[in-house]
Amino acid sequence: MKKQSIYLLFLFTLFSCSGNQQQAENQIGHKLKSLSELGMVEYVVSKVVKADDNATWYKFGDRKILFTCKANLKAGLDLSELSSENINIDARKKSISIVLPKAKLLSINMKPDDVHLVYEKTAITRFPFSNAERDMIMAQGEKDIKENVSDLGILADAEKNAKIFLEAFLAQAGFTTINIQFANN
């Protein structure tokens, strides 16, 4: 975050020294885009992952397994999607309008130390879950987290934090009218 703050400060210094409005918009767009990702929120999510391999007609007995895990989710903005068309500056009025890309999940990290086997039951006529099967079950749990990320509110929090962060920096850079919106894609 400190590195990103230094880039933004440099970016706004460039604007204040530039006499050409179009050049300033291009410089701001280029500098914001060079940040690539602006991580704004990190959540730790606990998840219970279970699998039930019920017996089929050719298998006798069943297998069940239950894991608990923690996943670190990082959400923010992918600023590489930003272009100079998304930035409008009126230097005389000290106003700036920016249309930012929607927030998205930047990373998900499930450390092996945070995955715990809670329960496993295997009938005597069946083999226990293999490591490959366990990995597939955990991959399904990770996929489920990704599919339900919008229900967690992490993306809304990332956009809210990004707006607050950028408004504060732009105000410190001397802008009096700041309009930050998010794309509708």
pLDDT (tens digit, 9 = 90+) per residue, 136-170?
999 998 999 999 888 889 999 999 999 998 888 88
Length of the chain: 185
**Residue 30: per-residue pLDDT:** 59
Residue 59 structure tokens: 């298998």
**Residue 123: per-residue pLDDT:** 84
**Residue 184: per-residue pLDDT:** 84
Mode of pairing for the β-strands spanning 87-90 and 95-100? antiparallel
Confidence of residue 8 (pLDDT cuts 50, 70, 90): very low
Q: Whole domain around residue 42: which residue ranges? A: 2-182
Contact 33, 92 (CB under 8 A): no
Number of domains in the chain: 1
What confidence tens digit (pLDDT) does each residue in 11-21 have? 444 445 445 55
Residue with the two structure tokens 């017996």: 55
Residue 42 structure tokens: 């990190």
Torsion sign across C-alpha atoms 79, 83, 84, 86: negative
Average per-residue pLDDT for the chain: 81
**Residue 35: per-residue pLDDT:** 62
CA dist 56 and 121 (Å) reads: 17
Mode of pairing for the β-strands spanning 63-78 and 87-90? unpaired
Mode of pairing for the β-strands spanning 95-100 and 177-182? parallel
Q: How many percent of the chain have pLDDT more than 70?
A: 77
**Residue 49: per-residue pLDDT:** 92
Residue 172 structure tokens: 């410190």
What confidence tens digit (pLDDT) does each residue in 49-87 have? 998 877 565 667 788 999 999 999 999 998 888 877 888
Residue 185 pLDDT exceeds 70: no
**Residue 7: per-residue pLDDT:** 43
